[in-house]
Amino acid sequence: MGPVACLKSVVPQVHTHRSLHAEDISSVAVLPGAKNVVLPKGDVYKSLQLLEVSKQILIENDRGGYTIPAKGLYPYQWNWDSALVALGWATLDEGRAWQELEKLFSAQWEDGLVPHIVFHQPSPTYFPGPEIWGSVEQPMGSTGITQPPVAAITVRKLYETALNKEVALQKLKELFPKLLAWHRWFQSARDPENTGLVATLHPWESGMDNSPAWDEALYNVPVDQIPPYVRKDLGHVDSAMRPKQEEYDRYLTLLYRFRAVNYDCNQLYFLSPFRVTDLCTNSVLYRANLDLRWLANELGQDQIAEEVDGWIEKARSAFDSLYDEEAGLYKSKDQLTGELVTAKTSAGFLPLFARVASASQAADLAATLERWLNRVKHGIPSYDPESSNFEPLRYWRGPVWVIINWMITDGLRAYGYEDLALRVEADTYELLVSHGINEYYDPVTGAAAGGKLFSWTAAMCLAWLSKGDGAHPAAAH
């Protein structure tokens, strides 16, 4: 009998019949059921609560085959959120995990793009919605830009850990050509000049929307005469936690310019006044290409494996141009000025997740990370805590994001920095136990911020923090 099952009899069960609220984090029912879970030593009751709340969050945010990131604030299907959330679903229901990806790829464009948001059902709580994007490619409506391509990483994980191997192989066969088309799109649409690294044309594509890494490039974008608009995010979350108005004006300017050419991927790269080499997108893509190559080999698709190998080789040498030796960190680049950005952000550690850093670069990154961790109560801050404009509560300008902690921890472990990985894991676990399952957290106080009952944080709790893979948080103490 596994630990969850064995604890079932000693933990009181309370069934809730209403929607979950943030305050339920400390009072929610315990309904064991997650598979492959080994609980940490220590406060077992709290751990079970955390797992149960995570599970309930996914259930509450399930819209029938896809999961919204958070009620109100983000009411549609987001691209990399879904790929990460599928990892959480896999611990509860493998079929549902595959479905999450199928639903995402049901919105894939003819040219291979997988949109950053899919508008399956109308919602009045988000701006800009389908009417502003105005894309006609898919009947349900979608944005015309993309997000970091996590999906191939998820497909490999689901396939490798599947209990139902037959279904997993079938799903892999169906999804593989779609993944390949998307990755080919990245090469042609976002690296037409064959540099080895892909371009990101909108801060929303980077997933780290208002990261200080985009300040210089974004403020070089002139604000056009755009239709007046009302932001809806500020109705859900305090404005001190969200991007500023002058940033939104530029987000919208880019959107309308892209819409004017129907998001034609052959034109956008050349006409966008914002074009950066984003470390997050390129690191995720690099890792996803490693996994795509692995999947191609698994399916006996040798020629495709070779094609993907070509992309990996090109990217490997190009990545070095993003390394700032003095800073001991990778940096994104403004393609329009040719300069590395000045901002040091948590994306700078993601080449570890990609496995593209050399051993000595990894050692520098580990040292830099340790220095950052020593400056805050809870890591990993999304922006250098030593920086004068570090903002612990504003969106991607300081707060901790659990999904990024997962990626960096995975990378640290791959390079042999087990102690540091355990430190981040234990810290993240503490953060969630004490502050609940939110969008992000203040690294100085630990306070939960942004959207509440957040899907990808819940998924990370199920798929990462509660896994007994010899790397459990409890082991760090």
Ligand X SMILES: O=C(O)[C@@H](CO)O[C@H]1O[C@H](CO)[C@@H](O)[C@H](O)[C@@H]1O
**How far is the CA of 6 from the CAs of 44, 90, 227, 365, in angstroms?**
12, 22, 60, 41
Phi-psi bin for 341: left (phi > 0), alpha (psi -120 to 50), beta? Answer: beta
Which one, 81 or 427, has the nearer CB to ligand X? 81
Query: Is-catalytic flag, 325?
Result: no
Cβ 147 to ligand X, closest distance in Å? Answer: 6
Stretch of 45-53, 72-80, 104-112, 350-358 lying at the interface with ligand X (CB under 6 A):
72-80
Q: Can you tell me the distance from the alpha carbon of 239 to that of 234, in angstroms, rounded to the nearest whole number?
A: 6
Burial zone of 456 (CB within 10 Å; 0-12 exposed, 13-18 middle, 19+ buried): buried
Tell me if 75 contacts ligand X by CB under 6 A.
no
Which of 24, 100, 205, 209 is labelled catalytic? 209
Q: Can you tell me the distance from the alpha carbon of 17 to that of 386, in angstroms, rounded to the nearest whole number?
A: 46
Query: Is-catalytic flag, 320?
Result: no
What is the number of the residue whose Cβ is closest to ligand X? 207
Cβ 158 to ligand X, closest distance in Å? Answer: 20
User: Maximum distance among all alpha carbons in the chain?
Assistant: 65
Which one, 80 or 383, has the nearer CB to ligand X? 80
Cβ 166 to ligand X, closest distance in Å? Answer: 33
Stretch of 105-113, 204-212, 322-330, 339-347 lying at the interface with ligand X (CB under 6 A):
204-212
With CB under 6 A as the contact rule, the residue among 69, 112, 144, 392 that binds ligand X is 69
Cβ 209 to ligand X, closest distance in Å? Answer: 5
State the number of CA atoms in the 13 A half-sphere of 98 facing the CB: 22
Q: Can you tell me the distance from the alpha carbon of 312 to that of 328, in angstroms, rounded to the nearest whole number?
A: 23
Tell me if 24 contacts ligand X by CB under 6 A.
no
Q: Can you tell me the distance from the alpha carbon of 155 to that of 316, in angstroms, rounded to the nearest whole number?
A: 23
List the helix and strand counts (H, then E) for the chain: 18, 9
- Across-strand partners of 339? 334
With CB under 6 A as the contact rule, the residue among 78, 98, 323, 406 that binds ligand X is 78
Tell me if 274 contacts ligand X by CB under 6 A.
no
Name residues contacting ligand X, limited to 219-258 (CB under 6 A).
233
User: Residues in contact with ligand X, total (CB under 6 A)?
Assistant: 10
Helix/strand/coil percent split, the chain, to 5: 50, 5, 40
Tell me if 334 contacts ligand X by CB under 6 A.
no
Name residues contacting ligand X, limited to 385-404 (CB under 6 A).
none
Q: Tell me, what amino acid is at 110?
A: E
Query: Could you check whether the bond before residue 128 is cis, i.e. omega within 30 degrees of 0?
Result: yes
Stretch of 73-81, 222-230, 267-275, 298-306 lying at the interface with ligand X (CB under 6 A):
73-81
Which one, 74 or 383, has the nearer CB to ligand X? 74
Q: How many other C-beta atoms lie within 10 A of the C-beta of residue 144?
A: 23
Long-range contacts of 355-358 (CB under 8 A, 24+ apart): 355/286, 355/287, 355/290, 355/411, 355/414, 356/283, 356/286, 356/315, 356/316, 356/319, 357/319, 357/330, 357/411, 357/415
Which one, 376 or 449, has the nearer CB to ligand X? 449
Cβ 234 to ligand X, closest distance in Å? Answer: 11
Which of 233, 425, 439, 442 is labelled catalytic? 439
The bridge status of strand 323-324 relative to strand 117-118 is unpaired
Tell me if 204 contacts ligand X by CB under 6 A.
yes
Tell me if 209 contacts ligand X by CB under 6 A.
yes
Which one, 47 or 79, has the nearer CB to ligand X? 79
Tell me if 80 contacts ligand X by CB under 6 A.
yes
367, 412 contact by CB (below 8 A) = no
Which three-class secondary structure state does DSSP give residue 364?
A: helix
Which one, 94 or 247, has the nearer CB to ligand X? 247
Tell me if 66 contacts ligand X by CB under 6 A.
no
Which one, 112 or 207, has the nearer CB to ligand X? 207
Which one, 143 or 335, has the nearer CB to ligand X? 143
Cβ 243 to ligand X, closest distance in Å? Answer: 7
Q: Can you tell me the distance from the alpha carbon of 348 to that of 471, in angstroms, rounded to the nearest whole number?
A: 23
Phi–psi pair at 228, nearest 5 degrees:
-60, 150
Q: Can you tell me the distance from the alpha carbon of 272 to that of 337, in angstroms, rounded to the nearest whole number?
A: 13
Residues 98-137: x/- map of binding to ligand X (CB under 6 A)?
A: ------------------x---------------------
Cβ 199 to ligand X, closest distance in Å? Answer: 18
Tell me if 74 contacts ligand X by CB under 6 A.
yes
Cβ 313 to ligand X, closest distance in Å? Answer: 29
Cβ 94 to ligand X, closest distance in Å? Answer: 24
Q: Can you tell me the distance from the alpha carbon of 18 to that of 1, in angstroms, rounded to the nearest whole number?
A: 31
With CB under 6 A as the contact rule, the residue among 129, 130, 207, 392 that binds ligand X is 207
Residues that bind ligand X (CB under 6 A): 69, 74, 78, 80-81, 116, 204, 207, 209, 233
Catalogue the active-site residues: 209, 439
